[in-house]
Chains A and B, each alone.
Chain A
Amino acid sequence: MTLNWQGLRWQLLLLLIASPALMTLASVFASFFMGDADTMAHLRRYVLPDAILNSLALVVCVSLLAGFLGVMLAWLTAACEFPLRRFFSWALFLPMAVPGYVMAFALVGMFESNGSLHRSVLASWPELSWWPDVYAFPVVVLCLSLVLYPYVYLLARNAFQTRGQRSLEVGQSLGLSARQSFFRVALPMARPWIAGGILLVAMETLADFGAVSVFNFDTLTTTIYKAWFSLFSLPAALRIAAALLLFVLVLIMLERYTRRMQRYADNKSKSLLERRQKLSRLQQALALLACGVVLLCAFILPALQLLAWAMPQRAVELTPRFWSALTGTVWLATMAACIVTVLAVLLAFVARTRQGRLVPVLVRLCTMGYALPGSVLAVGVFVPVAAFAAWLASQGYPSSWLQGSLLVMMLGYSVRFMAVAYTPLENNLLRVTPSIDLAAQSLGVSGWRMLKRVHLPMLHSGLLTALVLVFVDVMKELPITLMTRPFGFNTLAVRIFEFTSEGQWQRAAMPALAIVGAGLLPVFLLIRGSESSVSARADVVRAPQATLIYEQK
């Protein structure tokens, strides 16, 4: 009886956490069979073929490039020793704070023909006739990869840092060279982290609207908006969005399926910190070059371009309204980071401890929001909530607490960013061996107390990662913020929107810089935290067991 009640309680909790996501997905899928035939036929014939190919090509290329950059840089900064390594280990995460559309307009401003760079090059070499086409496909790929690789970087770094040294040593004792041990031991062992990071990149690429529209590059997302805003057919838009979601779901399931028999737990050995690989002079130079070039392209150049645009505007821009937008952004992002992370911890814990066929599916559905184009998701969250509020009002109950409060906003963020918080936590839970759970249970620690006393202390770096990722992502988020913010409440992203919607890119530079700046602190703390947590890990792992034994007495 008690057992049943317990099981039911978990299921209720899971349903409660999943309900906003389910509600949103339901409102997207509701019109799956409704899209008006005329619009759909037109899109199918003239728009979708190109859009689908473009989206596929973009997703594949961005995933590959961002995955390559992220894994390479993570390995360099986590496992190798070279000058400025500590600096690069946090600096390389900075591009994460640059919104994709900001990167796009900075890149275009810099590199387009007759842009700032072209003009200065022409000043020195007037005979130069060739200049790359900044609107070409490779530039779109580059733009998205440069802002998205930090997801892979962060997760892969986390994996390289927390995986044990012992398996590498075993490999080396069997005669593997440094390169072989990377490809045959370290890389396969970090697979769930890397796959998780690349999946986030792929989902964000599919959902991106801001960056691709700067390049006027047609994707599924631009088709969705075309159907909705230009052809006045929201059902057709939702239908395409639903198909997009199904595609992502299949991708995820495939990735899960191919590693269904594998376990990744490993936390008992000494950390990497003590044994970083020494590089030769040439290798050191190459490592420096690689880190330097990526940081230059992904952060320094765009930041300089933004600065060049922002400086002349500073007298006009730095008004009280700007400062209130800045504080509003930071406050909102902090709040959302805490709420979404707590929900993700609960979700990850339920998914780990509760077996059953329905649980993994529900959990997966909770993380789907990240692949939906922003405005579609915003409407998907807003419509059911507004309908509920309208029903409350019609029944004579107060309903205004549902409107213009941050509650709906938080609901939207939790649907959108659950994947971002969940991925690092889920991966870190893989590190906790089932034997630890069993040991805890045999000592009479289970349920909430297990989460609190055993898992949470071991999730330290995953929690940090989740908090920072959500924080930075919420700062950049636009459609949900736009739709659900209370009157008079402004964020930096909203200010960027106000300017760019009428083509005033230069004036958007100041709030864009502020977003980047506000992202610096958490990023810095995260990397500092993850460095110190590695050295402290051995103690952390031992500590809960010690307390368990103590309690038993």
Chain B
Amino acid sequence: MFFLPRACLVAPLTAVLFFTSLLGGCAERGAEVGGGETKAERLVVYSSRNEQLLAPVLARYEAHSGVKVDYATDKAGVLLERIKAEGANSPADVLITVDAGTLGFAASQGLFQPLDSSIVEQAVPVHLRDPKGRWAGLSLRARTIVYSTDRVAKQDLSSYAALAEPSWQGRLCLRTSKKVYNQSLVAMLISELGEQQAERVVKGWVANLAIPPTSNDTKVMEAIVAGRCDIGIVNTYYFGRMQNAQANLPLALFWPDQAAGQGGVHVNVAGAGILQHAPRAAAARRFIEWLVSDEAQAIFAGVNQEYPVTSTTEVDQQVASWGVFRASQQPLADAWLLQPAAVKLMDRVGYR
């Protein structure tokens, strides 16, 4: 009663609020008019890499180039629909995602134009970018084995597939199969071992699970620390984060599949491409070329304790302390073709 806006107040108030909301749009439009290819003082980035990892990189680029970078973060799948819906009218120039499968799918949907940059081609190894030049990896994330230093001997470890052996019965922890990191790992297994063999391996993992699949990688490591299981598979930067939060962590990383004839550690990339309808394609190209420079690589990978894609960039000290490894050389460009197969495989064997 005492604070409820009367009907006669609500209507004008709503009208005012409504038009303020439109004004927001007009201000946006004012900024838009100055844009365009000739005066490239602005760049628009859509990203599924989250804000606190992206913002420091963009801030450095703004300082470096004087270009004002606007960005919108969202889930990758939603961003793709958004770009499709906006079509030729889209304000976005660059798409950044954290999975090669998504990049490949976006490319297959015709959302990218060729990067057309010799700088990117020289800096980024060929298996970490699209052979047709539509996107390039920007940081490397390794998904590897983590084990309890109290209960597991390093010499008992060898490969991802070996985790399916009965000796690990009741000792394995895995994250949910709904996370794209596990989907791309299984996709790699499919292309290395063939679908049948990969299915046997994943089935073995499920049989060895000590607890139901967890909702994230940190929970896997926490379960190992708590003694509920002995071994798991995680992205290295989660391990790094936990190392920083907790001294004397009774965990260690192991690099699997290193022997001759084996495929190497599973890696995925965060990467970027220039959108088909980018209003400022040249500026977008300069931005991506800057992203593969040593200066940018150190921040882009460094803020999240990932590995740079370029060989010339120095790796963060803590990350380097985990040791060197041979990464899988499989071209990531086809990952999106195998990802749905991987998801179906995991559904079939009951890997939730």
Partners in one complex: yes
Give A343's nearest chain B residue, CB to CB.
Answer: B14
Binds B, one of A89-97, A287-295, A387-395: A387-395
Which residue in A231, A342, A386, A499 is a CB contact (below 8 Å) of B11? A342
Question: A341 vs B9: C-alpha distance in the bound complex, in angstroms?
Answer: 13
- A177-205 interface bits toward B, Cβ cutoff 8 Å, 1 = contact, 0 = none: 00000000000000000000000000000
B-side interface residues, number (CB < 8 Å): 70
Q: What chain B residues lie within 8 Å of A502 (beta carbons)?
A: 50, 53, 304
- Given known A401-B25, A525-B3, contact A216–B212 (CB-CB < 8 A): yes
Binds B, one of A67-75, A258-266, A402-410, A419-427: A402-410
Report whether B85 and A386 are in contact in the complex, using a CB–CB cutoff of 8 Å. yes
Task: State the Cβ distance, A256 to closest chain B Cβ, in Å.
Answer: 28
Question: A46 vs B199: C-alpha distance in the bound complex, in angstroms?
Answer: 15
Q: What chain A residues lie within 8 Å of B52 (beta carbons)?
A: 498-499
- A464-500 interface bits toward B, Cβ cutoff 8 Å, 1 = contact, 0 = none: 1000000000000001001101111000001001110
**B28 interfacial by beta-carbon distance below 8 Å:** yes
Q: What chain B residues lie within 8 Å of A215 (beta carbons)?
A: 215
Question: A536 vs B1: C-alpha distance in the bound complex, in angstroms?
Answer: 9
Report whether A407 and B22 are in contact in the complex, using a CB–CB cutoff of 8 Å. yes
Question: A483 vs B70: C-alpha distance in the bound complex, in angstroms?
Answer: 14
A contact face: mostly helix, strand, loop, or mixed: helix
**A121 interfacial by beta-carbon distance below 8 Å:** no
Which of B10, B53, B105 gathers the greatest number of chain A CB atoms within 10 Å? Answer: B10
- Given known A232-B340, A501-B50, contact A405–B75 (CB-CB < 8 A): no
Which residue in B22, B24, B26, B81 is a CB contact (below 8 Å) of A234? B81
**A52 interfacial by beta-carbon distance below 8 Å:** no
**A548 interfacial by beta-carbon distance below 8 Å:** no
Task: State the Cβ distance, B291 to closest chain A Cβ, in Å.
Answer: 19
Report whether A485 and B72 are in contact in the complex, using a CB–CB cutoff of 8 Å. yes
Report whether B215 and A403 are in contact in the complex, using a CB–CB cutoff of 8 Å. no
Q: What chain B residues lie within 8 Å of A393 (beta carbons)?
A: 88-89
Binds A, one of B252-260, B324-332, B342-350: B342-350
Question: A482 vs B129: C-alpha distance in the bound complex, in angstroms?
Answer: 29
Report whether A401 and B85 are in contact in the complex, using a CB–CB cutoff of 8 Å. no
Binds A, one of B114-122, B149-157, B175-183, B292-300: B175-183
Cβ < 8 Å to B, chain A residues 526-549: 529, 532-533, 536
Q: What chain A residues lie within 8 Å of B230 (beta carbons)?
A: none
Task: State the Cβ distance, B209 to closest chain A Cβ, in Å.
Answer: 12
- Given known A216-B176, A379-B81, A501-B50, contact A230–B343 (CB-CB < 8 A): yes
Q: What chain B residues lie within 8 Å of A228 (beta carbons)?
A: 77
- Given known A479-B78, A485-B72, A487-B44, contact A401–B29 (CB-CB < 8 A): yes
**A431 interfacial by beta-carbon distance below 8 Å:** no
**A518 interfacial by beta-carbon distance below 8 Å:** no
Binds A, one of B132-140, B159-167, B216-224, B308-316: B216-224
Report whether A339 and B340 are in contact in the complex, using a CB–CB cutoff of 8 Å. no
Task: State the Cβ distance, A86 to closest chain B Cβ, in Å.
Answer: 17
**A378 interfacial by beta-carbon distance below 8 Å:** yes
- Given known A216-B212, A456-B7, A498-B73, contact A342–B14 (CB-CB < 8 A): yes
Give B8's nearest chain A residue, CB to CB.
Answer: A452
- Given known A42-B344, A399-B89, contact A113–B178 (CB-CB < 8 A): no
Report whether B70 and A401 are in contact in the complex, using a CB–CB cutoff of 8 Å. no
Question: A501 vs B99: C-alpha distance in the bound complex, in angstroms?
Answer: 14
**A297 interfacial by beta-carbon distance below 8 Å:** no
Q: What chain A residues lie within 8 Å of B89 (beta carbons)?
A: 386, 389-390, 393-394, 399, 403
- Given known A113-B228, A407-B21, contact A386–B28 (CB-CB < 8 A): no
Q: What chain B residues lie within 8 Å of A401 (beta carbons)?
A: 22, 25-26, 29
Report whether A114 and B222 are in contact in the complex, using a CB–CB cutoff of 8 Å. yes
Report whether A226 and B86 are in contact in the complex, using a CB–CB cutoff of 8 Å. no
- Given known A216-B213, A338-B17, contact A405–B24 (CB-CB < 8 A): yes
- Given known A503-B238, A529-B4, contact A483–B91 (CB-CB < 8 A): no
**A33 interfacial by beta-carbon distance below 8 Å:** no
Report whether B28 and A232 are in contact in the complex, using a CB–CB cutoff of 8 Å. no
Question: A406 vs B17: C-alpha distance in the bound complex, in angstroms?
Answer: 10
Report whether A533 and B86 are in contact in the complex, using a CB–CB cutoff of 8 Å. no
Question: A463 vs B10: C-alpha distance in the bound complex, in angstroms?
Answer: 11
Task: State the Cβ distance, B123 to closest chain A Cβ, in Å.
Answer: 26
Report whether A483 and B216 are in contact in the complex, using a CB–CB cutoff of 8 Å. no
**B336 interfacial by beta-carbon distance below 8 Å:** yes
Task: State the Cβ distance, A352 to closest chain B Cβ, in Å.
Answer: 16
**A437 interfacial by beta-carbon distance below 8 Å:** no
Which residue in B17, B28, B51 is a CB contact (below 8 Å) of A404? B28
Question: A529 vs B2: C-alpha distance in the bound complex, in angstroms?
Answer: 7
29 A-B pairs (CB sep. < 8 Å): A214-B215, A216-B176, A216-B212, A216-B214, A229-B77, A230-B339, A232-B336, A335-B21, A338-B17, A342-B10, A379-B82, A383-B85, A386-B82, A386-B89, A393-B89, A399-B89, A400-B28, A401-B22, A405-B26, A406-B20, A407-B25, A410-B18, A479-B78, A482-B73, A487-B70, A497-B50, A525-B3, A532-B2, A536-B1
